[in-house]
Chain A
Amino acid sequence: MSAGGPPWTLPPISPPSWLTTPAGSGASGDAKPDSGTFAVPAELKAGLKDAWDASFPHGKSQEHGGILVRKADGTLEWRAGNAGTSGTFQINYGDLKSGETLVASAHTHPYDASEGGHRDVPFSGGDLANMVTGAESQKFVQSGDSVFRAAKTEEFEKLVKASNPDTLKTEMKATFNTALGGATGSFQDRVEAGVKAVCEKYHLEYFKGTGDSLTRVDTSK
């Protein structure tokens, strides 16, 4: 190495958005790097509560959800989408306006009595596979009192750039189904086995919890 400094230069460093969020707006919706916890923004928490409260019309399951956007003034806003079906939700990407940033999408996973009445059911294989083509960097699911978060990483983004999206989606779903099929335990345990397998193999972060704070899950176990 020559005297006077290294032969390479570092790109300018921008502070992460969680550092630049206007004071008073609560949690930013962005994860702190290398953090083991995630603070759920109040806007998202309220939006998901409304979505969950609407998820059992006449006792039958119906998914609800929406998108979390950062407006031009830096504040967060929840935008509810149209009601889905028992097992699907169409993300309302079209509700993002010019000058705004898509922070996250979120939806519910309700199970009525005929479906076993399950709660605390995390992501499906399809939910995670859609992160290959979805514009949002993170996705949330509320099921009962539990909130789940999956977030893209740099490794995931690199993988997406190097892959055929349809092929990658198919592989992710297959990974999910293989892990789920080989798992034992409760319905939720089996589904989570699928989530962990996909997040571990494809470098997605996985958090879960209740209330205001989610905790990172070690997907290698």
Chain B
Amino acid sequence: MTEDRQATTTVEAKGPGRWLVRTSRSAEGEAAEGTVLLRSDRPPGSPPAHLRLAGARAWLALGQRFQSRSRWQEAIASARAGLAEIGSDYAGPDVDDETDLKLLAAEDRLAQGHASDAAAVMLRVLGDRLSLYASLHHQDVVE
């Protein structure tokens, strides 16, 4: 997959103590936007806090778009990019996390020729990890 690295990021005030971080990710001529609404007394720095969440959300949106068009390989590549961007520090200590094994199962499905299943599982794991990340950082992340 060809990745466009000309991503732009903006920060917009959204009322007292609220900041909307908006970024985009693109690949194969397609682009998608991801946002995160932050709670802070001061403007976010540069790069803004939790940009990884906005970026990974953009990858999720892009992957889901590819998935809806049955472009499984592009959907898988987008899911992998989102998983890489959100990283491994996304869950609190009370969460028993088996998503690594779900990704292993997805890789097995891909190797067996079931790319649509692999894409679906990877995107679902990405979505779950993004939810966990937002929950872990709920003091900063409004939505």
**A14 interface contact, C-beta 8 A:** no
A63 within 8 A of B: yes
Within 8 A of A (CB), among B77-119: 91-102, 104-106, 108-109, 114, 117
Interface status of A18 (Cβ within 8 A of chain B): no
> Is the CB of B71 closer than 8 A to any CB of chain A?
no
Do residues A88 and B96 form an inter-chain contact, with CB atoms below 8 A? yes
Which B residues touch A6, using CB under 8 A?
none
For B103-143 the 0/1 string (1 means CB < 8 A from A) is 01110110000100100110011001001100000000000
Which residues of B pack against A, CB within 8 Å? 91-102, 104-106, 108-109, 114, 117, 120-121, 124-125, 128, 131-132
Mask, A109-142, CB within 8 Å of B = 1, is: 1010111101001001111001001100001000
Contact between chains at B108 and A116 (CB < 8 Å): yes
Residues of B within 8 A of A114 (CB): 109, 114, 117, 120-121
- Chain A residues near B108: list those with CB within 8 A: 116, 187
What is the CB-to-nearest-CB distance from A102 to chain B, in angstroms, rounded to a whole number? 13
Per DSSP, chain B at the interface is: helix
Whether the pair B96, A130 counts as a contact (CB closer than 8 A) is yes
Q: Assuming A85-B128, A87-B128, A88-B128, is B105 touching A116 (CB within 8 A)? A: yes
Q: Is the CB of A88 within 8 A of B109?
A: no
Query: A79-102: contact bitstring with B at CB < 8 Å (1 yes, 0 no)?
Result: 000000111111101000000000
Query: What is the CA–CA distance of A30 and B113 in the complex, to the nearest angstrom?
Result: 45
Chain A nearest Cβ from B116, distance in angstroms:
8
Q: Are B94 and A91 in contact (CB under 8 A)?
A: yes
Known: A115-B117, A116-B108, A187-B108. A89 touches B101 (CB 8 A): no
CB neighbours (8 Å) of A191 from chain B are 101, 104
Q: Is the CB of B100 within 8 A of A125?
A: yes
A107 at the interface (CB under 8 A from B): yes
Residues from chain A with Cβ under 8 Å of B120 in the complex:
114
Is B93 within 8 A of A88, CB to CB? no
- Please determine whether A88 and B95 come into contact, CB atoms closer than 8 angstroms: yes
Known: A114-B121, A115-B117, A134-B93. A85 touches B131 (CB 8 A): yes
Q: A88-B98, A114-B120 are in contact. List 14 more A-B contacts (CB 8 A).
A: A63-B98, A65-B96, A85-B131, A86-B125, A87-B102, A88-B96, A88-B132, A90-B92, A111-B102, A114-B117, A116-B108, A124-B97, A127-B97, A133-B93
**A55 within 8 A of partner (CB):** no
Contacts of B98 in A (CB 8 A): 63, 87-88, 109, 124, 126-127
The closest CB in chain A to the CB of B114 belongs to A114
Contacts of A133 in B (CB 8 A): 93
Closest 4 CB pairs of A and B: A126-B97, A87-B99, A124-B98, A87-B102
Bound together, the chains give a CA A90 to CA B95 distance in angstroms of 4
**Is the CB of A180 closer than 8 A to any CB of chain B?**
yes
| Contact A115-B105, Cβ < 8 Å, known A85-B131, A87-B125 | yes
CB-contact partner of B100 in A89, A90, A126, under 8 A: A126
Chain A residues within 8 Å of B125, by CB: 86-87
Q: Is A28 an interface residue (CB 8 A)?
A: no
- Verify B96–A121 contact, CB threshold 8 A: no
Which residues from chain B contact A121 at a C-beta distance below 8 Å? 101
Q: What are 19 A-to-B residue pairs whose CB atoms are below 8 Å? A: A65-B96, A85-B128, A85-B131, A88-B96, A105-B96, A109-B101, A111-B102, A114-B109, A114-B117, A114-B120, A115-B102, A115-B109, A115-B117, A115-B121, A116-B105, A121-B101, A124-B96, A127-B96, A133-B93
